[in-house]
Amino acid sequence: MAARRFGSAGAVDRRGTRTASAARPASVPRVRGRRRGRGVLLLVLLLAIALAAVDLSRRGVVPPLPFDLRPPEEATPVDDVAVVPSGAGTFQYAAGDGPVVGSGGPVLRYRVGVEDGLGVPVEQFAAAVEAILSDARSWTADGSLRFQRVSGAAGQEFTVYLASPVLSEAMCREDGLETGQFTNCRLTDGRVVINSARWLTGVPDYGAPLGEYRAYVINHEVGHQLGHGHELCPGPGLPAPVMQQQTLGLQGCVAYGWPFRDGVRYTGPQA
């Protein structure tokens, strides 16, 4: 028997002779339009959920999305922790001392604390901070200084705190800095204060994975601790300097979370 191809205009046998198409049974309804309608409805529903999430995210009160709408190559895991506006007001500090990182220069020792009630384990945050400051693109890249995370207050130069929006604002105000419960800060007494809402959700329209923003936020505030001031975007489409206030917008630059690029200190015009 000759094989047949079936299409909308009927069957065609191997000799190219078109035959009459089979009649659709009267009892079988057409469902193509109905399926297309369901697909459109699902797309509209997903879009509505995403827009609502963005709106809430701008107010800093939304837990992480249950799904990620970005392409897989751009998606990054988000901690399964909801942002809380206020914690307990007390801190837990990471135990143990980390290795000395960097190839030369004086050793700057720091400790890490997380406010109780945020749902973020202090060991997890400390490991992230340590990994960022140990990276070859961070402040140790030129061999001028080294870092070591320590557990005790004695002998440490600064402390990196993860604090709720309410407490971070109160801490920053001690130096006259207004954060609007949104931004981060560094205090003159060696306190580097990271707003937990920024750590967990980043900022709208950053255009890079959350991990890049986290690297920026640690390197930026530690940069202030090292004496660096704010810088500006050097030009449209160029990487943003780490001392640019990227939390407040990229001003035409592309997100970049590190002080060194290709082994060279990367800077912009002084603000």
Q: Which residues of the chain have pLDDT under 50?
A: 1-35, 44, 49-77
CA distance 54 to 48: 10
Q: At what angle do helices 210-225 and 122-134 cross, to 10 degrees?
A: 70
In the block, which residue shows the tokens 């005790």?
Answer: 152
The predicted pLDDT at position 152 comes to 87
Token pair 């967990």: residue: 200
Q: Would 115 be classed as within a structural domain?
A: yes
Structural domain including 191 reads 91-228
Give dist(CA 160, CA 113) in Å, integer: 6
Looking at the domain assignment, is residue 158 inside a domain? yes
Could you tell me if residue 17 is inside a domain?
A: no
| Distance, CA of 193 to CA of 191 (rounded, Å) | 6
pLDDT for residue 149: 97
The HSE-up count of residue 196 (CA atoms within 13 Å, CB side) is: 32
Amino acid 227: pLDDT:
97
Contact between 177 and 131 under an 8 Å Cβ cutoff? The reply is: no
Neighbours of 24 (CB within 10 A): 9
131 part of a folded domain: yes
Residue count (the chain): 271
User: Is 242 a member of any domain?
Assistant: no
The pLDDT of residue 41: 55
pLDDT for res 37: 53
Residue 238 lies in a domain: no
Question: Domain for residue 50, yes or no?
Answer: no
Q: How many domains does the chain have?
A: 1
Question: Would you call 18 exposed, middle or buried from its count of C-beta atoms within 10 A (0-12, 13-18, 19+)?
Answer: exposed
Q: Distance between the two ends of the chain, CA-based, in angstroms?
A: 82
153: Cβ contacts below 8 Å, ≥ 6 apart: 111, 159
Residue 8, both tokens: 């909308």
Residue 42 belongs to a domain:
no
What does each C-alpha distance from 32 to 24, 35, 38, 87, 145 come to in angstroms? 14, 5, 10, 53, 66
Residue 118's CATH number: 3.40.390
